[in-house]
């Protein structure tokens, strides 16, 4: 069965559901668990000509993502599970699939919230759908309504 599980965690309601589902899987399979929070690259655009990168803004954002990750790790620890974690920076799908390969994960777990209306679904796109296409291993999508 599963030996290494990677949970992409963002602290959202869907992320919390994925965390709870992951607890059940880890308990059942005795797999090791790693959490990642993915922070997108932050570039401020000043016009059609281009943008700039502010490392101070990026560092503040990274601290926010680290706090989300720490909260998830604390919840797991309080539930009696051992896990490690890391904040990744870049494209969500690329970072998750790359890290899953790096740790030789055999399951990726993500949360997903169904959006109301076709426009919301179209505008947001689907990271979970793209993960399924690019992942080298199984993907579990924990859905909230």
Q: Tens digits of per-residue pLDDT, 76-121?
A: 999 899 999 999 999 999 999 999 999 999 999 988 776 565 444 4
Is 80 exceeded by the pLDDT of residue 133? yes
- Cα–Cα–Cα angle for 134, 98, 12, rounded to 5 degrees: 80
Structure tokens given for 100:
């899953």
For residue 61, the model assigns a pLDDT of 87
Which band of pLDDT confidence, cut at 50, 70 and 90, is reported for residue 123? very low
- pLDDT the model gives residue 12: 82
pLDDT digits (tens, 9 = 90+) for 50-70: 555 566 667 888 899 999 999
Query: Alpha-carbon distance 108 to 89, whole Å?
Result: 18
Region of residue 11 (left: phi > 0; alpha: psi -120 to 50; beta: else) = left
pLDDT in tens, 1-55: 899 999 998 888 888 888 888 888 888 888 999 999 999 876 555 555 555 556 6
pLDDT value for 50? 59
H, E, C per residue of the chain? CCCEEEEECCCCHHHHHHHHHHHHHHHHHCCEEEEEEEECCCCEEEECCEEECCHHHHHHHHHHHHHHHHHHHHHHHHCCCCEEEEEEECCHHHHHHHHHHHCCCCEEEEEEECCCCHHHHHHHCCHHHHHHHHCCCEEEEEEEC
Domains with residue ranges and CATH for the chain:
4-144 (3.40.50.620)
- pLDDT of the residue at 130: 81
Nearest to 4 by CA among 84, 123, 93: 84
Contact indicator for 27, 38 with CB cutoff of 8 Å: no
Q: What is the pTM of this model?
A: 0.81
């Amino acid at each position: 069965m599963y030996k290494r599980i990677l949970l992409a965690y963002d602290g959202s309601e869907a992320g919390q559901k994925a965390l709870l589902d992951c607890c059940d899987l880890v308990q059942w399979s005795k797999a090791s668990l790693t959490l990642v929070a993915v922070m997108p690259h932050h570039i401020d655009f000043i016009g059609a000509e281009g943008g700039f990168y502010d490392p101070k803004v990026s560092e503040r954002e990274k601290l926010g993502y680290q706090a989300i990750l720490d909260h998830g790790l604390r919840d797991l620890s309080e539930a009696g599970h051992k896990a490690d974690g890391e904040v990744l920076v870049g494209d969500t799908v690329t970072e998750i699939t790359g890290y899953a390969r790096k740790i030789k994960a055999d399951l990726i777990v993500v949360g997903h919230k169904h959006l109301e209306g076709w426009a919301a679904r179209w505008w947001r796109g689907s990271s979970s759908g793209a993960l399924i296409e690019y992942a080298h291993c199984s993907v579990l999508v924990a859905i909230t309504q």
